[in-house]
Amino acid sequence: MRTKNIQLSVIILVTLLFSCSKDNVNDSSNPDSSSILVKKITTTSSNNTNTDVYSYNGNKLTEVHKGNSSEYVKFTYQGDFITRMAFYVANNQSGDYTDYFYSNNLLSQSKAYSANVLQAKFDYLHNTDGTIEITEITYSNGTTYTDKTKEYFDSSGNLIKKEELRYSPPPTTIYGYDNKNNPLKNITGWNICFPSNINNKIKVNYSNIIETFSYQYNSQGYPVSCNYTSQTSENKTITYFY
Dump pLDDT digits (tens) for 165-176. Answer: 999 999 999 999
- The answer, yes or no, to whether residue 123 has pLDDT greater than 60, is yes
Mean pLDDT of the chain: 87
Whole-number pLDDT of residue 195: 84
pTM of the entire predicted model: 0.85
Whole-number pLDDT of residue 32: 60
The CA distance from 108 to 203, in Å, is 28
Whole-number pLDDT of residue 33: 76
Domain 2-241 - what CATH class? mainly beta
Whole-number pLDDT of residue 78: 98
Whole-number pLDDT of residue 106: 97
What letter does residue 171 receive in the DSSP assignment? Answer: P
Distances (CA, A) of 90 to 51, 71, 72, 170: 17, 6, 8, 42
- For a pLDDT cut of 70, what percent of the chain falls above it? 87
Gap between the terminal Cα atoms of the chain: 33
Neighbouring-strand partners of residue 126: 132
Dump pLDDT digits (tens) for 60-89. Answer: 999 999 887 899 999 999 999 999 999 999
User: Alpha helix (H) ranges present in 78-199?
Assistant: 190-193
Whole-number pLDDT of residue 56: 98
Cβ neighbour number for residue 154 with a 10 Å cutoff: 14
- The answer, yes or no, to whether residue 23 has pLDDT greater than 50, is no
- The answer, yes or no, to whether residue 12 has pLDDT greater than 70, is no
Q: Is the peptide bond before 195 cis (omega within 30 degrees of 0)?
A: no
Whole-number pLDDT of residue 197: 79
CB 201 within 8 A of CB 177: yes
- The answer, yes or no, to whether residue 97 has pLDDT greater than 80, is yes
Can you give the residue ranges of every domain in the chain? 2-241
